[in-house]
Amino acid sequence: MDEPLACDKIGILRQGKLIMEDTPERILSIGQTQVSIEMEGQAVTETVADYQQELPRILSRYGLFKSVSRIRLKPATLEEVFVKLLRERMDDD
C-alpha cells in the first residue's frame, strides 16, 4: 500500500463515511513504532507512540554499552494505521 504515500492528501472511508482525511505523514503519525535493542544476542522490543520523544528514555535505561549491538526502529505502515483506525471506529459504533 505504497501508492497513497505519493498523494498530497488521502481519505479513509468506512461504510461510505469519511472517517479521516489528511496528509499521509499526519496519518502515519497516529501509528506506533517498535524499538528493538539487541544486546548480547537477545532483543528487547518496546512499542511507543512517539519514538522521537521516547527513544532517549529507552536508551538511558540500557545505556550505550558495548553489548548493544543494534538498535532497530520499525514504524507503523500506512496499512497498519488504516486497520487501526477502522477498528477504533468499529468500537465507537
Q: Is the pLDDT of residue 1 over 70?
A: no
- Does residue 73 carry a pLDDT above 70? yes
27-52 residue pLDDT tens: 888 889 999 888 888 888 999 988 88
Decide if pLDDT at 91 tops 80: no
Model pTM score = 0.63
> For residue 64, is pLDDT > 80?
no
Q: Which three cell numbers stand for residue 33?
A: 513504532
In the chain, where the domains are located = 1-31+77-93, 32-75
